[in-house]
Amino acid sequence: MTGKRELILGIESSCDDTAIALVDREGNVLGAEVATQELIHGAHGGVYPEFASRAHARSIIPAISKVLEVSGVTHKDLRAIGVTRGPGLIGSLMVGLHAASGLGLGWGVPVIGVNHLRGHLRSADLEQRRVTYPAVILLVSGGHTFLAHMESPTEVRMLGTTRDDSVGEAYDKVARMLGLGYPGGPAIDRLAATGTANISFPRPMMGEALDFSFSGLKSSVARYLEKNRDPIVADVAASFVRACLDVLIAKSRAALTANKSSALIIVGGVAASPQLRAEAKSLTDEMGVDLCLPPLKWATDNGAMIALAAWDYVELGHYPAPIAQTRIPLSMM
Ligand code: KG4
Ligand code: ZN
């Protein structure tokens, strides 16, 4: 590299993966590394916060060194470091923030505390510009489910959000009830593809504006499993997925109808679901708008989306301090 300071180093450690990436202003990813904690948390059926922080502390510096080395980049090529400041688990966030602050100080590179949700919002533009504005965006992750309207990459207006569980959380909890382990989303998807959606679970808040609620659906699956001791688990998974998709697609349709948009963007871990991708394609074809999806590897948490969001902050001249904020609204940069 030339030492022209044209890259951002993205650091994401808000939950259970230590993810690092180098991204240029166009969203090209020059190098990326993920130290996954699947094996650590798999044994517990969910994320164990103290184990997560310890694993981040072990992996973060080796992961950063590896990305720089493999990409042939030094700190002289860095315009900034973008690091997730929240929302997330406090201990996990602190590891990323301290690593970023120390490196920034030592290297003389500015450090930007990025809102994790802003990272997801920008993930569909990684590797290639896909998004056309104005757009409706559906974010479906483990921590959040909401619909928003975007006039531009940085102008976002919330349309509706979940009153309780996120859809990813419901996937994970139902996966645990079915004995599928953690993380549950991909396992539920695979099982659902082999079953029939013949159980009528509720479609929560179907008629109520653009807000979501998935807790009742999850409880309804639990009650079904209590009453039916020998269920066909593939049919339970298929019926659960059917109910989730019906809600997500109906609300996306309503949001597109009510808000001038040329695209539907779907981001977050559940955007890796092949069923959701296929149904969103039918919806956007029918409505004559573009469907913008992140490549599969950038749908779940990653460092590249944090780096791309950090480029927006650089452009706005807004450098939030790398200080943990476990809850940050989407409206905040
Ligand atoms: O965006 P993400 O990586 O983390 C958060 O910011 O929360 O999302 C994680 C969520 C988990 O609930 C996981 O089960 C779900 O995304 N997920 C999936 C799939 N891959 C991950 N859900 C459905 N289908 C998938 N293929
Ligand atoms: Zn996330």
Residue 321 has pLDDT above 90, yes or no: yes
Residue 236: the pLDDT is: 98
Residue 39 has pLDDT above 90, yes or no: no
- Atom 21 of ligand 1, residue of closest alpha carbon: 269
- Give the C-alpha separation, 124 to 293, whole Å: 5
CB 148 within 8 A of CB 136: yes
**CA atoms lying within 13 Å on the CB side of residue 128:** 5
The pair phi, psi for residue 2, each rounded to 5°, is -100, -5
Mutational test site, ligand 1, from 41, 123, 137, 141, max ligand atoms within 8 Å of CB:
141
Residue 2 has pLDDT above 80, yes or no: no
Residue 85 has pLDDT above 60, yes or no: yes
Task: Tell which atom from ligand 1 comes closest to the C-alpha of 166.
Answer: 12
- Atom 10 of ligand 1, residue of closest alpha carbon: 142
Within 8 A by CB and 6+ apart from 103, the residues are 64, 75, 81, 109, 111
Band of residue 208 on the pLDDT scale cut at 50, 70, 90: confident
The pair phi, psi for residue 239, each rounded to 5°, is -70, -40
Residue 3 has pLDDT above 60, yes or no: no
Q: How far is the CA of 260 from the centre of ligand 2 (A)?
A: 27
Q: Which ligand number lies closest to the CA of residue 36?
A: 1
Please indicate whether residue 119, judged by its CB atom, sits closer than 6 Å to ligand 1: no
- Give the C-alpha separation, 215 to 204, whole Å: 9
Q: Which ligand number lies closest to the CA of residue 193?
A: 1
Tens digits of residue pLDDT in 243-272 = 999 999 999 999 999 999 999 999 999 999
Tens digits of residue pLDDT in 122-161 = 999 999 999 999 999 999 999 999 999 999 999 999 999 9
CB 12 within 8 A of CB 301: yes
Q: Which ligand number lies closest to the CA of residue 305?
A: 2
Write the single-letter amino acid at 191.
L
- Give the C-alpha separation, 265 to 125, whole Å: 10
